[in-house]
Amino acid sequence: METLKRIALALVIIGAINWGLIGFFQFDLVAAIFGGQDSALSRFVYALVGLSGLYCITLLFEPMEEKNTTRDHSQTGRLNYGTEFGEETDLSNLNNLEQETHNKNE
């Protein structure tokens, strides 16, 4: 199914380029390659591009996949909250250190 999507998308892109050429330069590339707008081969290409466009409409309604752009921290077991400017002080044990210091002074 993924291959069909890629083929349909490629045909839609070809059709979009052809329409851009028609709009900007009044040049129909498909007709020029396949022997005019009325030739059977040109009409076949136009039909394929049109069907591909209809198929690509279904791609609008598919749920988008979230790509895993974050690192997998399960391998290291520890998150890195450091900055690009240097390591930050780990203050998670600050209360324990204060209590130990307070107990030693007593």
Q: What is the pLDDT of residue 66?
A: 73
Q: What is the pLDDT of residue 32?
A: 96
Q: How far is CA 13 from the centre of its chain?
A: 17
- pLDDT, tens only, 47-85: 999 999 999 999 888 888 876 655 554 555 666 666 666
Q: What is the pLDDT of residue 84?
A: 64
Which DSSP helix (H) or strand (E) runs through 68? none
- pLDDT, tens only, 4-49: 999 999 999 999 999 999 999 999 999 999 999 999 999 999 999 9
Instruction: Provide the residue ranges of all domains of the chain, joining segments of one domain with +.
Output: 2-60
